[in-house]
Amino acid sequence: MKNIVFVPSQLLTADLWAPQIAAFKGKAECMVANNAGADTIAGIASGILAAAPKSFSLCVHGMGGFVAFEIMRQQPERVEKLILISTLASADTPAQTARRMGYLKLVEAGEFAKVVEERIPMMIPAERRNEKALVDLVRKMASDTGAESFLRQQKAIMARIDSRPSLEKIKAPTLLIYGRFDGISSLDHQQEMLTGIKNARLEIVEDSGHLVPIERPEKANALIGNWIGI
């Protein structure tokens, strides 16, 4: 049976991967990794590797991509297949870091909920923000993450290195999945990874935003399952 390690993005939890775990039941052993176990990307990656099976397919979203690139630097031989969803390989721009510093100030002022509401428009396309179940799920995942874990995630994200120079060293077959209406990562980001990783393919989900695994679960399930071979 195949092993899959899922890594969600900041403010997101195992609920992000619920449709995939349900679809792959009986076909794969699924593990959702801790995306807030340290305040550095290297520390998060080390913790995941310590808990993961000997070999596995790695499926990540958003911030999980930053962790995936570190895993590929630390122990690439353990990763059979790599799936990068809604992510990017570059370090933060000054503007992004400034925005994250604003988040830290809000959290420290006891206004974590404001951070969540600010990020919802980036994560969910405008035409789907009236879908109560989807928006409520995002809020639930953020609440379950909590302020302390979010602070660790932000510190790790801000201090991450630029992974673009190491992309050419990735040997695992890599699938990039991108929602056309993603408000966080861009098509240019996908092209950078597609160019840098020798054995990579890009799939664009035309009717999705940033949260492809829960916005378009059937399409995500098919793409991930076919890539892994289950």
**Domains of the chain and CATH, by start:** 2-92+157-228 (3.40.50.1820)
Q: What is the mean pLDDT of residues 3-18?
A: 98
Q: Which two tokens stand for residue 45?
A: 């990656």
β-sheet with 174-179: strand ranges across: 28-32, 2-7, 56-61, 79-85, 174-179, 200-205
Q: How confident is the model at residue 74 (pLDDT cuts 50, 70, 90)?
A: very high
> According to the model, what pLDDT value does residue 147 have?
96
CB proximity list for 13: less than 8 A, separation 6 or greater: 32, 141, 144, 145
Nearest to 65 by CA among 154, 193, 214, 169: 193
pLDDT on residue 217: 98
CA distances from 34 to 60, 87, 217 (A): 12, 18, 22
Helices 41-51 and 63-74 sit at what angle, rounded to 10 degrees?
A: 70
pLDDT digits (tens, 9 = 90+) for 136-191: 999 999 999 999 999 999 999 999 999 999 999 999 999 999 999 999 999 999 99
**Chain centroid to CA 87: how far?**
6
Q: Which residues contact 226 (CB under 8 A, 6 or more apart)?
A: none
Q: Which pLDDT score is estimated for 18? A: 98
What does the alpha-carbon distance between residue 61 and residue 117 come to, in Å, rounded to a whole number? 20
